[in-house]
Amino acid sequence: MDISTLVEADATTDTSPESSREEVYPWWEQYYAAWLEMAEKGIEGPRIGYHIFWSDGLHLNSREKNFRLLFNAAIIADGGTIEADDVLDRAFPDLEGSDAYLRRLDLNLLMNLYDSFEARLVIDFANVQEIKDNWFRFINRPILEKFKFGHFKEPFSLEELNSIRRRTFMEPSLPTRAFTPGRNIGVSYLDAAADDRKTWSFGAFLKTGSFSDFGEAKDKISEALGFDLTGRFTMLPWYEDFGRRLFHVGFGYSHFFGDDSKSEPNMRFRSRPETRLTDDRLVDTGDLFGKGANSFNVELASILGPLSFQGEFFSTFTDIDKASDPHFWGFYAYGSYFLTGENRNYNVTNGVFGELRPNDSFHLRKGGKGAWELASRLSFMDLNDEGIRGGKELNVTVGINWYPTRKSRFTVNYIHALVKNRLNPLITKGNANIIQARIQLIF
């Protein structure tokens, strides 16, 4: 489409009463429509040797399409405020206050070679160029295509495996952040059966990271602390109407083999109060030295049209250098409802939830409501046992999500956090109120 042709047509539009009933597009929308059409068509030719075009990201394909690259990006910006009572204010002098920050600035690269090899690289530039995913796998090869190699999330916990872009709330629940292994370097196997009504995955991972307050320790590639053997099994006892009605059950297990020959700690359980407005962890076991830990997880989720429920239970048994080994546990449960009639999309191949597509996407000129979702969550974590007094925390969260399109989202969360029975710093009983908001755009 030629932009000049569109502009010329706009300049000569008949504005008589008879023609005023016809729809006239503003000049800026004509420019955008023309640019979008040209971008989707792209550039190609014998001199270039590649076809470059835009479709949910920037594509670069070789002439024979035996080499393909896809670039896309995500911008997630957060802001909010925290108010704490006197007890928490004394324990954490920097807890209160307001802040706005760039939560994620992701560059995502996906490469396909001869339809036989696939690799992905995700770099988060909002966190000092932190590498999130860095993996490769072979495709269209029996058995081998089910393996993945590199740095990625271990198969444990429904909420953890859902992308930050697709979670119902801005941040994971208390126990999800504390007890899941997160990303590590390793190899995993994923398979599905019974018409994708069952999935199972397992893998071996090198435990990497540190326990510094800089970034998320579980996402850092540094000196290994040991290794994990982790597995997950999911099934759908009930699945109807292409996933609009279903019931999901999942089980996870992870065994951590600690390297107790080193002088530094190899275990620590803690969690932010479901916000990134602070680096303070209201509950925290502190550094632990030990031989390992066994973590168990149970997942339940149900979709009943626009209404959905999800919950998980976590339990971790440690083997540390004490006379008695402490046991820590936690859970979360939440419900959500789409006022506009949509339902959460379930990925049967991976046993996780996928991208939401509004029934009526928002448009500045044409209107449209987008998708509106209300949600509420209860989460709890207990880090007190056998001489460890990391504290107990109970959070209640309510939130509202607006999805104007499948590539954009606006979120507001309110969190009431109740903390008690922590030794260092001493907290008998304290509470905080958090209000935070998010803007998310995907290109």
Residue 53 CB contacts under 8 Å (≥ 6 apart), including other chains? 39, 40, 41, 42, 43, 44, 59
Mean pLDDT for the stretch of residues 251-279: 88
Summarised one tens digit per residue, pLDDT across range 74-100 is 999 999 999 999 999 999 999 999 999
The pLDDT value recorded for residue 1 is: 39
Element (H, E) at 229: strand 224-240
Q: Phi/psi at 115 (nearest 5 deg)?
A: 50, 25
Site of tokens 């770099």: 123
Residue 432 has pLDDT above 80, yes or no: yes
| Per-residue pLDDT band at 385 (split at 50, 70, 90) | very high
Residue 28 has pLDDT above 60, yes or no: no
Mean pLDDT for the stretch of residues 396-408: 96
Distance CA 429, CA 413 (A): 23
The pLDDT value recorded for residue 210 is: 45
The pLDDT value recorded for residue 56 is: 80
| Per-residue pLDDT band at 42 (split at 50, 70, 90) | low
Q: Which of 342, 434, 437, 432 is nearest to 393 (CA)?
A: 432
Q: Which residue has the higher pLDDT, 122 or 46?
A: 122
Mean pLDDT for the stretch of residues 295-314: 98
The pLDDT value recorded for residue 31 is: 61
CB burial string 103-123: b at 16+ within 10 A, e below: bbbbebbbebeeeeebbbbbb
Mean pLDDT for the stretch of residues 128-154: 87
The pLDDT value recorded for residue 225 is: 79
In whole numbers, what is the pLDDT of the chain averaged over residues? 86
Residue 119 has pLDDT above 80, yes or no: yes
| Per-residue pLDDT band at 399 (split at 50, 70, 90) | very high
Q: Which residue has the higher pLDDT, 24 or 236?
A: 236
Domains contained in the chain, CATH given: 1-41 (no CATH), 42-442 (2.40.160.10)
Mean pLDDT for the stretch of residues 10-32: 50
The pLDDT value recorded for residue 208 is: 78
Q: Which residue type sits at 381?
A: M
**β-pairing verdict for 183-193 and 198-208:** antiparallel
Tokens of 327: 């046991």
Residue 337 has pLDDT above 60, yes or no: yes
Residue 292 has pLDDT above 70, yes or no: yes
Residue 293 CB contacts under 8 Å (≥ 6 apart), including other chains? 255, 256, 258, 267, 316, 317, 318, 319
Site of tokens 């008998």: 428
The pLDDT value recorded for residue 24 is: 58
Mean pLDDT for the stretch of residues 229-246: 95
The pLDDT value recorded for residue 17 is: 43
Q: Which of 39-48, 326-335, 396-405 has the lowest mean pLDDT?
A: 39-48
Distance CA 50, CA 68 (A): 9
CB atoms within 10 A of CB 51: 17
State the sign of the Cα–Cα–Cα–Cα dihedral 274, 280, 283, 288: positive
| Per-residue pLDDT band at 216 (split at 50, 70, 90) | very low
